[in-house]
Every structure is written in C-alpha cells, then in structure tokens.
Amino acid sequence: MTTPEVRAELDLPAGTVSTAWLAPPDPFATLVLGHGAGAGMDHPFMAGFSRGISLDGVATLRFNFPYIERGRRSPDPERVLREAWLGAFDAGVARSDGKAVLAGGKSLGGRIASMCVADGLPAAGLVFLGYPLHPPGKPERIRDEHLYRIEVPMLFLHGTGDPFATPELLSTVIAKLGARAEDVPVQGGDHSFNVRGRKRDAREVGAELATVVAPFVRRVVDGIR
C-alpha cells in the first residue's frame, strides 16, 4: 500500500554516502532534503516528513552528509558539506523526470542548501525546517547575509521557542527578504518543532509539517508568489 523507499549510494569527492528516494506514483515536484547536524537522513523526523509529503504528491531525495555516513559526530568542513549538497541535488534532478526540483532541510541541511542556492544552485525554491539563524544565545553571530542573494521563494518553518532563531530577529530577516520569503511559525515549538503539552513522536511531527510545505511546493511550481 505504501510506496517503498529506494535506497542508493552516491559517490562524492569525500566518499560514498547513502540516499533515500521516496516518490508517490506521479509526483509533481521533487524536494532534495539535507538532515540536521545531530542526526542523519533516517532520523524519524526526516523519514516522517518524506512520507507525509509523498502523500501530497511531492517526491523527496534525502541524503547523508559524509560525516554521518562515517559515524562521526561533528560535521564536515563547509566545503565538504556543500559538495555533498551539489551531488545530492544532481541526483534529485536525475530522478525528477523533468519536474521542478526544490532544496531544503532541517537546520544545518537547509542552511547549506541556501548557501549553495545563493551561489547558483538552480533550485526552484527553498524549504527551511528550522533555519539556524544564529547559535543559541548569540544573536550577534547572525547568518543571514547570503540569504539576500537568493531570488527563489523561501519557506521558513520555525518554532517560536527555537533558540537558534529568536522570533524578532527572524521576523526582521523575513521582512527584508520581502515577497521571496514566507513565514510559518509553530507556536511554542523548539528547534525540533516539539511543543510542550502536545505529545508527538518525531515521525508524526515531520509528517505534520509536510502538510504546510506541500502547498508551498505547489505554489512554487505554479509560479504563484
């Protein structure tokens, strides 16, 4: 009844990494997804998101960064992360059957995607599942300068209690981005979109967020800002 994931290896300059392709019967777009810093592509949040958005007609390609693949804890240098993103995006394009390809991800995965897009990666849009705007408690170390070079639509999902993006600072950034950026706050959510008093496993949280991302992907594909 449910479509199985297609697991494949992807060769990168830094080594081979795993990918997971999950597509409904006739997807209208593909979303390539990078994972957050602390867990790989098979984290239940990522798997649940892919499953959820597949029910709304969007195919996903998830991938591991090389450090996760090797069982390391601390992320690779930015250059390696970017190379991984470029390789994964190409793999997504190869499977996209000519449909639009967007990029996105959880935290680190989304941030690296945005840096690649700012430097020319031809994604049709960007989806941030918690953008790490600044390290917790250090709003002065804001990571926003490259965002203003991006011209495609961006969707910012964020918990209002996320220490990586204080709502005031994120609002300012989103206001500066203007019509390119859409803001979807999750009231009381933390960096993992957990809301106190609303018990969910990570898989369900991911699937629930997918219900607001799918219409965004549709608007990007239809050219509606």
Site for another protein, rule CB under 8 A: 1-2, 5, 7, 18, 20, 22, 40, 42, 44, 47-48, 51-52, 55, 64, 68-71, 157, 182-187, 189, 193, 195, 198, 200, 203-205, 207-209, 211-212, 215
Instruction: Please identify, using beta-carbon distances, which residue of 164 and 193 lies nearer to another protein.
Output: 193
Strands 58-63 and 126-129: unpaired
What's the closest the beta carbon of residue 122 comes to another protein, in angstroms?
26
Strand order of the β-sheet with 100-106 is 6-12, 15-22, 58-63, 29-34, 100-106, 126-129, 154-159, 181-186
CB of 3 to another protein, least distance (A): 9
CB of 142 to another protein, least distance (A): 21
Quote the least distance from Cβ 114 to another protein, whole Å: 20
Nearer Cβ to another protein (143/203): 203
Q: How far apart are CA 171 and CA 44, in angstroms?
A: 29
Rounded Cα–Cα distance for residues 103 and 109 (Å): 9
Nearer to another protein, 121 or 127 (CB): 127
Q: Smaller CB distance to another protein: residue 5 or 76?
A: 5
Task: Pick the closer one to another protein by CB: 72 or 138.
Answer: 72
> Which value, to the nearest 10 degrees, does the dihedral of the CA atoms of residues 200, 156, 127, 121 take?
-150
Q: Give the angle 210-150-30 at the CA atoms, nearest 5°.
A: 35
* Residue 34 near residue 20, CB atoms below 8 Å: no
210 CB burial (10 A radius; 0-12, 13-18, 19+): buried
Q: Least CB distance from residue 115 to another protein, whole Å?
A: 25
Q: In whole angstroms, give the CA distance from residue 215 to residue 208.
A: 13
Q: State which residue, 85 or 193, has the beta carbon closest to another protein.
A: 193
Residue 160 Cβ, how far from another protein at the closest point, in Å? 9
